[in-house]
Chains A and B, each alone.
Chain A
Amino acid sequence: MRPDLGRITMSNFTRRGLLKTGAVAGAGLAMPTLITSPLAAYTNEPTGGSVTLGFNVPQTGPYADEGADELRAYQLAVEHLNGGGDGGMMNTFSSKALKGNGILGKKVEYVTGDTQTKSDAARASAKSMIEKDGAIMITGGSSSGVAVAVQGLCQEAGVIFMAGLTHSNDTTGKDKKANGFRHFFNGYMSGAALAPVLAKEYGTDRRAYHLTADYTWGWTQQESIQQATEAKGWSTVNNVLTPLATTDFSSYIAPVLNSGADVLVLNHYGGNMVNSLTNAVQFGLRDKQVNGKNFEIVVPLYSELMAKGAGENIKGILGSTNWSWTLGDDGTKAFVKAFGEKYGFPPSNAAQTVYAQTLLYADACERAGTFNPCGIAEALEGFEFDGLGNGPTLYRKEDHQCFKDVLVMKGKDNPTNEYDALEIVEVTPRAQVEYAPDHPMFAGGDLGQCNPGA
């Protein structure tokens, strides 16, 4: 009997019925937009006593620990914006527009989404926060692939995107958008900061072998490091692209010693970096001599959490970071104190950049006197500020990229505790990492027009 019942049911579901149902369902789905569009001046214009921010961070997946640290920083920023705690970097921020009474007098609330470090999941969670929760701004992320995808979505939806941890040149290069802003540094800046230190430490006659994560971030970082080191006299023996899903890099590392290279550059991040570095150290590369020189390993982009994962292997290895909790400026001290007292350990690179982004967004709203994305974008463009831990900083109008000092770091030989894995070798001044907006590595994109949505 059951097959018959199934057949009868199916025969009742006609093509016309399907079209009708689809039309009704489509109209239902479109209802909120149809109703709100003519009334609101911009997407999710806040009408009550509160304003909702959307924190889109990896809560599951390989970067979940970084996402958790971002979320801690966001929660701290919300607390400070609403007048709680000691105010953190609001006290040291050069702009004094923030008063600790929320944003434009509205209490700051937040919703969170899980990017899973997957572009489609990140877009879905951002979309849900915008459409269902009424988020007026989306921020966060720990991957350039995710940042580019979510930035595109925010541009279409008409909300501001304050990028989290994204280091690919493309985020503010070929994929830049008028509604997107990046505080974090990029691959070009890593190359510009790192190459002079590498030349000084290891000499100008070096042959580099690159292993590169096969996606947007890896490609642009590799290109940046290659160009910067070749400008200092190095040559590049080989660049091997490694799939992102690789966990054992031994087959990529084994041929390195026999290639004539005397430096291995690991353009890897997160678990990839921990594994490739561990494999390279296992193979004893750092104990070898090639071309009459000590074999060296370079990790251009560091993070504190990765350094912890790599353990002893990180000792003596050079890389770069956006910020370090060991800096001595007032902004850093205020943030480390507020974060450390709340959570019991120092904040990471990722935590600082998202905390700064939240304050920068709130400050721009206050200065613009509106939550309208176009007003906020105008307030952020060309904005010069200080006191957020990176020294004097410019949010450049042409590409929405922040320009500030970059840190060259080294794995510490004798760390005093588990948070002390990296030490600052050099604070590279902003002027050294600046580039023209039409630099070839950033060419091909168009910022376009700001979209207020609605």
Chain B
Amino acid sequence: MDQFLLQVLNGLDKGSAYALIALGLTLIFGTLGVVNFAHGALFMVGAFCAVSMQKIFEISKITIDATKTDFLGNPLKVKTPYVIEWFGESAGNAMINWSVPLAILLAIPVMLLVGYIMERGLIKHFYKRPHADQILVTFGLAIVIQEIVKASYGANPIPTPAPSQFVGSFDFGVLLGMDPNAVIYPYWRLIYFAFSAVIISAVFAFLRFTTFGMVVRAGMADRETVGLLGINIDRRFTLMFGAAAAVAGLAGVMYTPINSPNYHMGMDFLVLSFVVVVVGGMGSLPGAVLAGFMLGILESFASMNAVKEFFEMLYLPSIDQIIIYLVAIIVLLTRPRGLMGKAGVMEE
């Protein structure tokens, strides 16, 4: 029971990331009809907004301490962050400590801008091109973004810790009357799950209950008719691209304390997120969210030793690496449109 609970919890945060990325992918596909392979890169750019925020807060005034020496025997350069110099020790340290959540404020405008530039500058030229062209150009763009980030920040992971108040884990086991340490779960991962639930709900509410959202949904259903009504649907779709970029970016910002960000992290999520979109059903927002959590939890279960050993007996080694693809095959064989896919999407 405890192992079961543990893996469900573990799958939730992984599923949260998959769901958030897949949600953005589906939004872009549903509105613009573009298969965006650069979406993982947007997740990574979001994560590096957190890194940048941390670096901004750590920009320091350098003073020379003649009483100490550095590794070459030269007088030691002492760094004092400007935020401490300007706002005092406690406020300055608090800003550095909370740099990841504060990075959301940086990430929203940056990601909207990146999304807008991407869509207007490149992707709009590929609306009428085959999906293969879209995949090639967006994949190329992802590599370019990745290399720019590597050139600027290096190849190694950069530690971006959560605020010190959230270090450690919550003991669910004790809450459920089990032994201490039987089911523990890090606080930050709980926050990540809650955060993703809020973002997903906000996106659904926005599409459901605002006029803008209604027009977008109408455009997704019948772009031509909405255009004939005198509505500039292209502009709205461009804004939706920006919004999808922002969702991926925010997912990236909040993910940084879970795994130190590196330039390659977007690619790690991209392929899996595409599988999530396909399993959920191309163009289906609820499908993307459902499949994201489902596959996250399944992946978590597959890494259990007992499960791995069971599949090894069935001549299926390393099940933890292939489970998502295996499920994708089964779902597509039994439900070719995915779990919640609609007829007519990508079927022309």
Chain A residue, CB-CB nearest to B3 = A255
Chain A residue, CB-CB nearest to B169 = A284
Instruction: Report B170-201 residues with CB < 8 Å from chain A CB.
Output: 181-182, 184-186, 188-189
Known A62-B262, A251-B7, A255-B304; contact A310-B184, beta-carbon cutoff 8 A: no
> Is B320 interfacial (CB 8 A cutoff)?
yes
Report A's interface with B, CB cutoff 8 A. 60-65, 214, 238, 240, 243, 245, 247-248, 250-252, 254-255, 257-258, 271, 274-275, 278-279, 281-284, 287-288, 290, 305-306, 308-313, 325, 336-337, 340-341, 346, 417, 419
> Within the assembled complex, what's the spacing in Å between the Cα atoms of A38 and B273?
57
Closest 9 CB pairs of A and B: A311-B159, A64-B155, A251-B303, A284-B168, A282-B186, A284-B169, A309-B157, A257-B181, A251-B300
A279: chain B residues at CB < 8 Å are: 258-259
A218 to chain B, nearest CB (A): 14
Partner of B258, one of A251, A282, A287, A337: A282
Tell me whether A63 and B155 are in contact (CB under 8 A).
yes
> Is B268 interfacial (CB 8 A cutoff)?
yes
Chain A residue, CB-CB nearest to B186 = A282
A25 to chain B, nearest CB (A): 30
B11: chain A residues at CB < 8 Å are: 251
B96 to chain A, nearest CB (A): 12
Partner of B188, one of A255, A271, A282, A312: A282
Report B's interface with A, CB cutoff 8 A. 2-3, 6-7, 9-11, 13-14, 70-72, 150, 154-159, 161, 167-169, 181-182, 184-186, 188-189, 257-260, 262, 264-265, 268, 299-300, 303-305, 318, 320-321
B166 to chain A, nearest CB (A): 9
Known A250-B13, A251-B300, A271-B157; contact A287-B168, beta-carbon cutoff 8 A: yes
Known A278-B260, A311-B159, A336-B71; contact A251-B154, beta-carbon cutoff 8 A: no
> Within the assembled complex, what's the spacing in Å between the Cα atoms of A248 and B265?
11
Tell me whether A325 and B259 are in contact (CB under 8 A).
no
Tell me whether A251 and B169 are in contact (CB under 8 A).
no
Can you add 13 more A-B contacts, CB < 8 Å, to A250-B300, A282-B169, A336-B71?
A64-B150, A65-B156, A247-B268, A248-B14, A250-B258, A251-B303, A254-B7, A254-B184, A274-B260, A283-B169, A283-B184, A283-B185, A284-B167
Known A248-B259, A251-B303, A417-B70; contact A284-B184, beta-carbon cutoff 8 A: yes
> Within the assembled complex, what's the spacing in Å between the Cα atoms of A238 and B299?
21
Tell me whether A65 and B154 are in contact (CB under 8 A).
yes
Known A243-B321, A310-B159; contact A250-B10, beta-carbon cutoff 8 A: yes
A66 to chain B, nearest CB (A): 8
Chain A residue, CB-CB nearest to B147 = A60
28 A-B pairs within 8 Å (CB atoms) are namely A64-B150, A64-B154, A65-B156, A238-B305, A240-B305, A245-B321, A247-B259, A248-B14, A250-B189, A250-B300, A251-B10, A251-B304, A254-B7, A255-B3, A255-B305, A258-B2, A258-B3, A275-B260, A278-B159, A278-B259, A281-B167, A282-B167, A282-B258, A283-B184, A283-B185, A284-B167, A284-B168, A341-B72
A431 to chain B, nearest CB (A): 30
Tell me whether B6 and A254 are in contact (CB under 8 A).
yes
A243: chain B residues at CB < 8 Å are: 318, 320-321
Chain B residue, CB-CB nearest to A282 = B186
A315 to chain B, nearest CB (A): 12
A255: chain B residues at CB < 8 Å are: 3, 6, 304-305
Tell me whether B186 and A340 are in contact (CB under 8 A).
no
Chain A residue, CB-CB nearest to B262 = A271
> Within the assembled complex, what's the spacing in Å between the Cα atoms of A340 and B74?
11
B315 to chain A, nearest CB (A): 17
B186: chain A residues at CB < 8 Å are: 250, 282-284
A321 to chain B, nearest CB (A): 17
B148 to chain A, nearest CB (A): 13
A61: chain B residues at CB < 8 Å are: 155
> Within the assembled complex, what's the spacing in Å between the Cα atoms of A279 and B300?
14
